[in-house]
Amino acid sequence: MTKEMLTGNAAAAWGVRLAEVDYIPAYPITPQTEIIETLAKWISAGVLDARFVTVDSEHSMITAAGAASATGVRVFTATSSQGLLYGFEMLYAVAGWRVPLVMVNVSRGLSAPITLEPDHNDILAARDSGFLQIHCETCQEVLDSILMAYRLAEDERVLLPVFVNMDGFHLSFTREPVEIPDLEKAKMFLPAYQPRHAFFKASQPMAQGVAVIGGPAYSYFKYQMHLASIKALEVYNEASKEFGKIFGRSHNTIEGYMIDDAEYILVMINSFSTLGKAAIKEARAKDIKAGLLKLRLLRPFPESDIVKAIKGAKAAAVVDQNISVGKGGILHSEIAGAICNQKDKPLLLSFIGGLGGKNISPQEFEFIIDCMVKAADTGEIPAPRLLYTETEWKEMDRLKKMAGKL
């Protein structure tokens, strides 16, 4: 084991290297490109025995990845934002093929307006595709999650592709100390891929991805995917335990931060959770019993873990770094769905922030926590809030003035 300062992208590449991936179809897009460049460099240097091919689009890339996985090799690929949407049709297709490939998405806001910094509308658009989704806060989580993702995907009780998500720039280009496991230990955790359900060879012809006619046949296969995904919760927990035994650290479906006695809970995901945690510390210093719930596994949705974690709290605020235009925060709806039939459920507040990488300042977190306290006191729940500071508003005014619009 060695410890190195790695970017999120480099940590992803290390996860792929330790998984001894066979095949990497690729297509460049910011801020993901460092991953595929690192892998290409290692293949060229002979330290990773894989085939790398740059194809003509993300649509082709996901197709090639799925087809190779259906032939029986271990496959990795990565994309981001516009690229994910360009290949979108094939996400559903390869998930339906039940191929256990792993794909990193480096989150980035979606056009228009075209931008570079992160929010989660890209990865959440893929929420219902059949891919499992693991979301990362730290560079260490990125590396570890890739090993866990293969373990999960290739388990015969699951056989679904997995997304590992990290935030563009904020994690992809941020260096953090990362423990790089020994290859031998990685292999103990993740044995070589032995496909028993999907392969192509002359002696055993197989038709894959075939059409069905009629709702019953279609529903039959869709329900199977759903049940396999739900089963993945149990498989995830097994894998997480064994990961802990081998590597001395583990990552659960959710992470609670100062949550055990918390009365006010922030619900967050990915790298902005770090900002949320700092705000919780501040609140605790002021004797507010605040805590944070970070979602790591989003599909399958760890509903009972979430319910348990926030049960008994006075209020919870979901900070959505995404926007379902005309509805609001996507995760807010998911959490609301999870707790709606529970007794002893907290009041649930909705905030949207961090779109296109917009910062969420300590003052905004303070405001969110304050809203929770007030809601608990009065029983009145404020309308969903779109976080935006006065400084940011004034800056937009300044830009509009420059553009001659004010």
Partner 1 sequence: MDVIPIKSIKDIPTEEDIFPGTPTCAGCGGLLALRHCLKALGKKVIIVNAAGCFTLLSIYPFTPFQNSWLYTAIACAPAGAQGVRDALDILIRKGRLDPEEDLKVVVLTGDGAAYDIGLASTSGAIYRNLDFYYICYDNEAYGNTGFQWSGATPFASKTGTTPAGRISPTGTELSKKNLFEIWRSHKPPYLATISPAHPVDLINKFKKAEQYKGPKLFINLSPCPPGWATDPSHSAMFAKLAVDTGIWALKEAICGDVRHTFVPKKFRPVEEYLKGQGRFAHLFKPVRQEEILAKIQEMVVQYWNEVQDNESIKK
Cβ proximity to partner 1: between 214 and 404 the closer is 214
Single-letter amino acid, residue 263: E
Which residues fall within 8 angstroms of residue 145, CB to CB, at 6 or more apart?
15, 134, 136, 164, 251, 296
SS3 track for 111-145 = CCCCCCCCCCHHHHHCCCCCCEEEECCCHHHHHHH
Nearest to 233 by CA among 319, 141, 303, 140: 303
Closest CB 31 distance from partner 1, rounded Å: 24
What is the closest distance, in whole angstroms, from the C-beta atom of residue 206 to partner 1 in the complex?
Answer: 5
Dig out the tokens for 28 from the structure.
Answer: 């460049």
C-beta of 228: minimal distance to partner 1 in Å?
Answer: 18
Structural element, H or E, at residue 3: strand 2-6
Give least dist CB 200 to partner 1, A.
Answer: 5
**Alpha carbons 291 and 277: distance in angstroms, whole number:** 8
C-beta of 11 vs 62, nearer to partner 1: 62
Q: Which is closer to partner 1, CB of 49 or CB of 238?
A: 49
Q: For residue 239, what are the CA distances in angstroms to 90, 348, 357?
A: 28, 32, 32
Which residues does residue 219 pair with via DSSP β-bridges, in sequence order?
Answer: none
For residues 30 and 173, give the distance between their C-alpha atoms in angstroms, rounded to a whole number: 11
Of the pair 93, 373, the CB lying nearest partner 1 is at 93
**Torsion, CA 305, CA 309, CA 312, CA 315, rounded to 10:** -110
Residue whose CB is less far from partner 1, 92 or 367: 92
By CB under 8 A, name the binding residues for partner 1.
22-23, 25, 49-51, 53, 55-57, 59-61, 63-73, 75, 89-90, 93, 200-203, 205-213, 217
How far is 212 from 195, CA to CA, in rounded Å?
24
**In the complex, least distance from residue 84 CB atom to partner 1, rounded to whole angstroms:** 16
Smallest distance, Å, CB 62 to partner 1? 8
Residue 25 vs 181, nearer CB to partner 1: 25
